[in-house]
Amino acid sequence: MKISSIIACWVALFLICPSKIANCQNISGNWLGSITIPGYNGNEYPIEASVIQKDSLISGQIKSNYEGSYAIMKFQGIVSKNKIVINENEVIEDSYPNQVWCLKSFDGEYVADSSNRTKILGTYSGYTKFFHNRYTADYCVPGSFILLQKKPATRDIVIFKDGIKNIKKEEPLSQYNSKYGISYLVSISLHFEQSTSNLLESSIENLNKIVNCLSENRSVKIILESHTDNVGDLQKNFRLAEDRVARVKRYFLDKNILGSRVQCRILGPFLPIAPNDSEHNRSLNRRVVVKVKDL
């Protein structure tokens, strides 16, 4: 019997949502906004996103600006009703080679307010860094983000950016601040041997740190997102992703962490965090990501 059957891990699958269905948001287009890093310096940094959507799958590019330099990243993502998950996975342009760039994973919600302004807001975390043309598994400081859709008729970029600031005043992102302290301890990426559910030794050490944090903070709930590289059959990759996340949840249960505190998502090869162009990069994509859900 499979481990996943034994522990009855609740799995949230993002299903294909044809665009003709009314409640499937289509976010194709250009977006402008900013990210905020409260756990680092509290500053805001501008970002721009170009999005193409087909059914529930999205792809495109994000330009991140940081203290006079910038990087452009490719991304892939999934839309499910008003929920959006985006993973940056490749740096395609870097204005300053000595700058370390964090490839971010965005979790957000699509919102249309009473003024008919369309926006996406939420939090991000990061588990991959890019430096001197090399991707490495490394933790990035989490933060919050907001994006406002740029309409074709919006020509005055200054007015448009003022609109983003006004939204921030109306809806401060302080609702996310309480997550940051716990996120430093819990948000992490666990890695596996190729084609198996065997955790790497370094990941077992990280898993024990998460167990300690969850034991000391009993109100915290987490999400386990299971990913694979793109090698092999798609269905086999999904089964492998399920086995991996079940192995991790079983570890938590054995350490007396209640199963009701652990939600699982099976995402397979759809959201890489590095290009699948070398064994090193593919090893970064074979992962289970731990994220804070609720406090």
Q: Is 216 left (phi over 0), alpha (psi -120 to 50) or beta?
A: alpha
- The tens digit of pLDDT for each residue in 172-203 reads 333 334 455 555 556 688 999 888 999 988 88
What pLDDT, on a 0 to 100 scale, did the predictor assign at position 41? 66
How far is residue 226's CA from residue 87's CA, in Å, rounded to a whole number? Answer: 13
CA distances from 58 to 16, 24, 80, 152 (A): 11, 12, 11, 20
Domain segments of the chain as ranges: 3-15+182-294, 29-174
**CATH number of the 3-15+182-294 domain:** 3.30.1330.60
- The tens digit of pLDDT for each residue in 49-67 reads 999 999 889 999 999 999 8
How much is the pTM? 0.77
- The tens digit of pLDDT for each residue in 68-116 reads 999 999 999 999 888 899 999 999 999 988 899 999 999 999 888 777 7
In CATH, the architecture of 29-174 is: Beta Barrel (2.40)
3-15+182-294 against 29-174: fold identical: no
Using an 8 Å Cβ cutoff, are 125 and 185 in contact? Answer: no
The identity of residue 155, as a single letter, is R
